[in-house]
Each structure stands twice: as structure tokens, then as C-alpha cells.
């Protein structure tokens, strides 16, 4: 579990996440983050072999998606 506050205040949000031997896929399920905050989280998790299913680009596209 990752605290929203730890992501937003710049602290080590992923410190309690173990480092996996092989890449494992994860879904971020929480409050909508600003795209830059999601990107920071994505790369911090990636260093632990915990890969979010949506890349920062995909997240940004979904975040700003508008119905026309």
C-alpha cells in the first residue's frame, strides 16, 4: 500500500515495497494524481521491478481525455 500523502510530499513513497527478482505488473488504484506525480511513482516502483500497467504517457493521456 502506498500513501497518497507520501507521493505528494516527495518522501519515499515506495520504501515499504519489496524489490522483486523479476518484473511484476501492478495497477495503481487510488486518487487521481497529477501526471508528474504519477511519473515519479512509476519510475520509483520500476526501480524495484514493480511495473505499473500504465506508462506515464498512457496515464497522462487518460488524465486529460475529454469527451467531445
Structure-model confidence comparison of residues 26 and 3, the more confident one: 26
Which pLDDT score is estimated for 10? 59
- Please give the pLDDT value at position 31: 83
More confident residue, 13 or 59: 59
Q: Based on the number of CB atoms within 10 Å of its own CB, is 7 exposed (0-12), middle (13-18) or buried (19 or more)?
A: buried
Domain edges within the chain = 4-63
pLDDT digits (tens, 9 = 90+) for 10-57: 557 788 889 999 999 999 888 888 999 999 899 989 999 999 999 999
Amino acid at each position: 500500500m502506498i500513501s497518497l500523502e507520501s507521493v505528494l510530499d516527495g518522501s519515499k513513497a515506495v520504501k515499504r515495497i519489496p524489490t522483486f527478482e523479476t518484473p511484476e505488473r501492478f495497477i495503481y488504484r487510488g486518487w487521481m494524481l497529477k501526471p508528474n506525480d504519477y511519473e515519479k511513482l512509476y519510475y520509483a516502483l520500476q526501480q524495484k521491478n514493480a511495473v505499473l500497467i500504465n506508462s506515464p504517457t498512457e496515464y497522462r493521456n487518460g488524465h486529460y481525455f475529454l469527451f467531445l
